[in-house]
Amino acid sequence: MPLLINIRHLEEKDLRLKGKLPVPELRLDAEDELVRARLPLHYDLTAHLAGSDILVSGRLKIALDCECARCLKPFQFRLELADWTLHLPLDGPEKAELKNDCVDLTPYLREDILLEFPQHPLCETDCAGLPNRSDANSEEKEQPSRTRSASAWAELNKLKF
């Protein structure tokens, strides 16, 4: 069930919205193979009428299942929008769509959550990536990285195209 606000209820008093929204309802169909939403979105919001507009503010939290972009290790990323705010005009060219005096907040939630998805998820900020499995040159591992880089470029320069 989508997250709806009845504007007739807002005319009487501010509304407090607290609960969970299932992932299928959010339709977080991101094409990212490294980030997936499996657990529901937790929301704690307050909505009130500000003139002829609706102002919604509060907190959004969702746990994302991620794979590290460097080492492919699975980890959980906690996405939290602590000061989420939404301004919905009820008049004018950009007015919110009303159905039976209700406004659906779900598309706005979806948009802001997708914008906050990690673009390059890392299990740790200093993740070194996949372990080097080649033991071909143990001396090469002991050399400074500058020398190794130079030798790699030297090998590439030997190629004739």
Q: Where are the domains of the chain?
A: 4-116
How many percent of the chain have pLDDT more than 70? Answer: 88
Q: How does residue 135 score in pLDDT terms, banded at 50, 70 and 90?
A: very low
Phi/psi of residue 38, nearest 5 degrees: -125, -35
139 secondary structure, DSSP code: H
Annotate 63-76 with b (16+ C-beta within 10 A) or e (fewer): bbebbbbbeeeeee
Band the pLDDT of 92: cuts 50, 70, 90: confident
Q: What is the pLDDT of residue 5?
A: 92
**pLDDT, tens digit, 9 for 90 and up, residues 103-124:** 999 999 999 999 999 989 999 9
Determine the pLDDT at residue 31: 73
Residue scoring higher pLDDT (79 or 156): 79
pLDDT in tens, 30-71: 678 899 999 999 999 999 998 889 999 999 999 999 999 999
Which position has the token pair 């030297």? 154
